[in-house]
């Protein structure tokens, strides 16, 4: 079902990786997207059923709706572990305690750019980290410390912030590429250095954004360097260029690096469509894994090989529960006509195909688009004339 060949085999990874999905919080930061509590619960249920192990239900102090969403999702009895989100602010943590959320990210900015913008000194930020994390832990919350803009932080303060969080009781930490500025090599170095300083007993997450189109590559680099959890969103939605894409990361890990995850790839396309519909945005038809064009073929040269999926596709449509098909247009060929005729149960003699192909190409060019099945039937009935 995966036909990537032997090229990647020397780079296969031995890794245990889980997904921490933040569609309901970071994903909702997509411009113009508003997800009401009941819809968030619907998405959370679908994420859990697809095999996502950890779901960030939201930031309860941001609004009444977010509070309700966290409450609904926490009480839904999902198989996934439900996480909250909090700043290094006591009132934020108190909200999590009141809601009974068992685990949470606790974030604080740590780059000089962020600290300067907020007007907060390093010393004050370390105090806030220590106070918020210790209070959460004292109240039974599993904490993953999340250093905002950590890929642009000065190394000495980065180390101090993460060490402070762990000393205060944070059981896990998140390496955060908030602005999406890091390349894979830098991510691997930072994750590896964090693991070396904090020790292998502290699980490391990676949270990456896609501003330079590197979020998936960075997620893989983080896994190679020892990250245990990868933060993702469905369809890569999120602020600016979005976040690491849940399906893309899982597919790359499995198909290219031979790393199995708990995510059911056969559910990703339906999950993507559900979130797309609820969020009200469109996806590029060529988008990896979930795009509508991935298993549709218009090119005649490719259609001639359509009977042999391994020759024209890197993985099978069955792997991701998609349908294969031939579509007709300007780029169609003789095999396209044959396959489409058979698919629609139309009797088109071989000698009639050249004229029919010419008519299809002409119509596709005039439309600047595809020829529909109904239009093809009409062309067949007209004998390839219009």
Eight-class DSSP state of 372: P
Gyration radius of the chain's alpha carbons: 25
Mean pLDDT of 212-227: 98
Domain parsing of the chain, residue ranges: 15-279, 296-381
Whole-number pLDDT of residue 178: 97
The helix (H) or strand (E) run that includes residue 19 is strand 18-21
Look at residues 98, 93, 95, 94 and name the one whose alpha carbon lies nearest to residue 108. Answer: 93
Q: What is the pLDDT of residues 48-84, one digit of tens each?
A: 999 999 999 999 999 999 999 999 999 999 999 999 9
Q: What is the pLDDT of residues 201-218, one digit of tens each?
A: 999 999 999 999 999 999
Distance CA 341, CA 353 (A): 10
Phi, psi of 297 (to 5 degrees): -125, 125
Q: Are 73 and 39 in contact (CB under 8 A)?
A: no
Look at residues 361, 307, 297 and name the one whose alpha carbon lies nearest to residue 353. Answer: 361
Q: Does residue 57 sit in helix, strand or coil?
A: strand
Size of the chain in residues: 386
Distance CA 386, CA 370 (A): 16
Whole-number pLDDT of residue 222: 98
Confidence of residue 382 (pLDDT cuts 50, 70, 90): confident
- Say yes or no to pLDDT of 138 above 70: yes
As a CATH number, domain 15-279 is: 3.20.20.70
In sequence order, which residues have a C-beta less than 8 Å from that of residue 28 and are 6 or more positions away?
Answer: 34, 35, 58
Lowest mean pLDDT among 14-18, 98-102, 281-285: 281-285
Report the largest interatomic distance among the alpha carbons of the chain, rounded to a whole angstrom. 83
CA atoms within 13 A on the CB side of 86: 31
Q: Are 103 and 144 in contact (CB under 8 A)?
A: yes
Q: Are 207 and 174 in contact (CB under 8 A)?
A: yes
Mean pLDDT of 269-274: 97
Q: Does residue 147 sit in helix, strand or coil?
A: strand
- Say yes or no to pLDDT of 91 above 90: yes
- Say yes or no to pLDDT of 386 above 70: no
Question: Phi-psi bin for 384: left (phi > 0), alpha (psi -120 to 50), beta?
Answer: left
Confidence of residue 229 (pLDDT cuts 50, 70, 90): very high
Confidence of residue 334 (pLDDT cuts 50, 70, 90): very high
- Say yes or no to pLDDT of 385 above 60: no
Confidence of residue 168 (pLDDT cuts 50, 70, 90): very high
Lowest mean pLDDT among 97-111, 237-251, 348-362: 348-362
Lowest mean pLDDT among 38-52, 229-243, 293-307: 293-307
Distance CA 18, CA 227 (A): 9
Whole-number pLDDT of residue 15: 96
Look at residues 329, 307, 335 and name the one whose alpha carbon lies nearest to residue 373. Answer: 329
- Say yes or no to pLDDT of 142 above 70: yes
Distance CA 116, CA 96 (A): 28
């Amino acid at each position: 079902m995966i036909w990537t060949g032997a090229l990647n085999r020397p780079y296969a990874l031995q890794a245990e990786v889980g997904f921490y999905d933040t569609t309901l919080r970071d994903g909702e930061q997509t411009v113009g997207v508003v997800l009401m509590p009941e819809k968030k619960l619907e998405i959370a249920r679908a994420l859990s059923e697809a095999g996502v192990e950890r779901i960030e239900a939201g930031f309860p102090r941001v609004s009444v709706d977010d509070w309700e969403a966290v409450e609904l999702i926490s009480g839904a009895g999902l198989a996934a572990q439900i996480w909250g989100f909090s700043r290094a602010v006591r009132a934020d943590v108190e909200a999590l305690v009141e809601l009974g959320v068992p685990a949470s990210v606790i974030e604080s900015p740590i780059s000089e750019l962020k600290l300067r913008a907020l007007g907060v000194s390093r010393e004050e930020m370390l105090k806030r980290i220590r106070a918020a994390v210790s209070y959460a832990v004292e109240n039974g919350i599993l904490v993953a410390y999340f250093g905002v803009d950590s890929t642009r932080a000065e190394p000495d303060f980065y180390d101090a912030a993460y060490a402070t969080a762990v000393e205060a009781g944070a059981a896990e930490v998140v390496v955060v590429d908030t602005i999406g500025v890091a390349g894979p090599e830098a991510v691997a170095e930072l994750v590896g250095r964090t693991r070396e300083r904090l020790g292998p007993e502290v699980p490391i997450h990676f949270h990456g954004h896609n501003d330079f189109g590197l979020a998936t590559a960075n997620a893989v680099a983080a896994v190679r360097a020892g990250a245990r959890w990868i933060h993702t969103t469905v369809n890569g939605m999120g602020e600016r260029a979005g976040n690491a894409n849940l399906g893309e990361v899982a597919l790359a890990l499995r198909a290219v690096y031979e790393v199995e995850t708990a995510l059911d790839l056969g559910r990703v396309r339906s999950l993507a469509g559900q979130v797309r519909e609820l969020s009200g945005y469109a996806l590029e038809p060529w988008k990896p894994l979930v795009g509508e064009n991935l298993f549709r073929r218009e090119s005649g040269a490719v259609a001639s090989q359509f009977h042999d999926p391994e020759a024209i596709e890197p993985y099978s449509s069955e792997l991701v529960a998609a349908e294969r098909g031939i579509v007709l247009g300007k780029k169609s060929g003789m095999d396209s006509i044959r396959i489409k005729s058979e698919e629609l149960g139309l009797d088109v003699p071989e000698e009639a195909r050249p004229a029919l192909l010419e008519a299809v190409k002409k119509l596709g060019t005039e439309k600047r688009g595809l020829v529909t099945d109904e239009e093809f039937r009409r062309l067949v009935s007209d004998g390839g004339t219009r």
